């Protein structure tokens, strides 16, 4: 059997929770992504983190041992700036609620960065760990005017760091939303534009999106009609995977990036006496029983194979759901 990655000409990879957590690389990520590049698969990085420039991101990745340059990084800050420029035109004044990197992206596409008291036509908001209450308040005061556009880089509620899971840009966006009663335009994932931008830049036609978050990476891939790989090194649990709503279900699920070079064991689906069953022969059987998934696994079966089989069974039994479900996984 061929390696999972052999069907694709590019990897469009998330960063936080896939390549690193905080400053530290995730086990197996660097060697696997470099190996993909060496075998002719283009590797690009698609990040919702708007606090750093793409050159800074590329430099960080290089310091971890990855072979990468700034042309192979696209950020939600770039996407937000481009969206504002497309809507408002060159020279339009915009206020920044975020990092200097977001301001530089705005200038690079011809926007004019101004203060909140200088009649901006849009507020661009992106993650900045130094953002404070006063910044959020100024954005809220400005956005009380409904004619001023509000474009945010992303709405990730959490971000994985070296000490654990921390609040992400979505929590800051929600603070402004609570104060203004408004909903923003989202430029990064889960929108499709950020993926199309990097595909056009690289000239690839058959990429696969790799990410750890269902609500951004995987939903974004589905919105862009691209295949996706969920990797279990970030914020999601196996319960999240099994219970994912239809729009957030990945094409594949792996435990870590080393598995990109393994054959993919796809569970076989069946229905016996009205019960949906998924099977990886001799290793795992998962059977849907009302609100439960009963799992019978050989002692050599990995958590990845068990979780993948449970998800396959539950998704087959619930092919269309707009909300996350609440299946219970029971070991036999």
Q: Render pLDDT for 278-315 as a digit per residue (tens, 0 to 9).
A: 999 999 999 999 999 999 999 999 999 999 999 999 99
16 a catalytic residue: yes
Residue 52: predicted pLDDT: 86
Residue 26 token pair: 């995730």
Residue 125: predicted pLDDT: 97
- Which of 9, 16, 128, 135 does the annotation list as catalytic? 16
Give CA–CA dist 267/284, Å, rounded: 9
Residue 88: predicted pLDDT: 97
Residues 213-266: tens digit of each pLDDT: 999 999 999 999 999 999 999 989 999 999 999 999 999 999 999 999 999 999
Sequence-ordered list of residues with C-beta below 8 angstroms from that of 192, at least 6 positions apart, any chain: 220, 223, 224, 225
- Which of 14, 128, 156, 215 does the annotation list as catalytic? 14
Cis peptide before 190 (omega within 30 of 0): yes
Q: Exposed e or buried b for every residue in 206-232, given b needs 16+ CB within 10 A?
A: ebbbbbbbbbbbbbbbbebebebbbbb
Give CA–CA dist 170/123, Å, rounded: 15
Look at the pTM and tell me if it is higher than 0.95: no
CB burial of residue 104 (10 Å; 0-12, 13-18, 19+): middle
Low-confidence ranges of the chain (pLDDT < 70): none
Question: Given its phi and psi angles, is residue 318 left (phi above 0), alpha (psi -120 to 50 degrees) or beta?
Answer: beta
How many degrees, rounded to 5, is the angle at CA 322 between CA 318 and CA 326? Answer: 60
How many degrees, rounded to 5, is the angle at CA 81 between CA 79 and CA 82? Answer: 65
Residue 183 token pair: 């909903």
215 a catalytic residue: no
């Amino acid at each position: 059997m061929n390696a999972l990655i052999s069907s694709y000409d590019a990897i469009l990879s998330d960063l936080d929770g896939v390549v690193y957590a905080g400053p530290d690389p995730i086990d197996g990520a660097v060697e696997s992504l470099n190996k993909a590049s060496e075998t002719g698969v283009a590797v690009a990085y698609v990040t919702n983190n708007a606090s750093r420039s793409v050159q800074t991101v590329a430099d960080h990745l290089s310091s971890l041992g990855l072979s990468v340059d700034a042309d192979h990084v696209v950020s939600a800050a770039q996407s937000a700036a481009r969206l504002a420029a497309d809507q408002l035109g060159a020279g339009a004044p915009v206020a920044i609620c975020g990092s200097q990197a977001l301001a530089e992206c705005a200038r690079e596409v011809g926007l004019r960065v101004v203060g909140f008291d200088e009649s901006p036509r849009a507020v661009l908001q992106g993650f900045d760990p130094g953002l404070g209450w006063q910044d959020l308040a100024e954005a809220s005061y400005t956005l009380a005017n409904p004619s001023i556009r509000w474009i945010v880089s992303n709405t990730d509620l959490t971000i994985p760091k070296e000490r654990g899971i921390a609040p992400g840009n979505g929590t800051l966006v929600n603070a402004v939303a609570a104060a203004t009663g408004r909903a923003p335009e989202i430029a990064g994932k889960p929108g499709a534009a950020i993926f199309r931008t990097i595909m056009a830049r690289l000239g690839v036609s058959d990429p696969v999106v790799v990410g750890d978050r269902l609500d951004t990476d995987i939903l974004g891939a589905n919105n862009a009609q691209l295949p996706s790989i969920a990797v279990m090194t970030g914020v999601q649990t196996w319960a999240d995977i099994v219970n994912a709503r239809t729009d957030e279900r990945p094409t594949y699920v792996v435990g870590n990036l080393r598995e990109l070079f393994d054959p993919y064991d796809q569970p076989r689906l069946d229905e016996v006496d009205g019960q949906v069953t998924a099977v990886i022969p001799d290793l795992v059987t998962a059977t849907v029983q009302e609100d439960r998934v009963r799992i019978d696994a050989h002692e050599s079966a990995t958590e990845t194979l068990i979780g993948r089989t449970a998800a396959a069974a539950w998704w087959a039994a619930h092919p269309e759901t707009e909300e996350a479900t609440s299946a219970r996984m029971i070991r036999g």
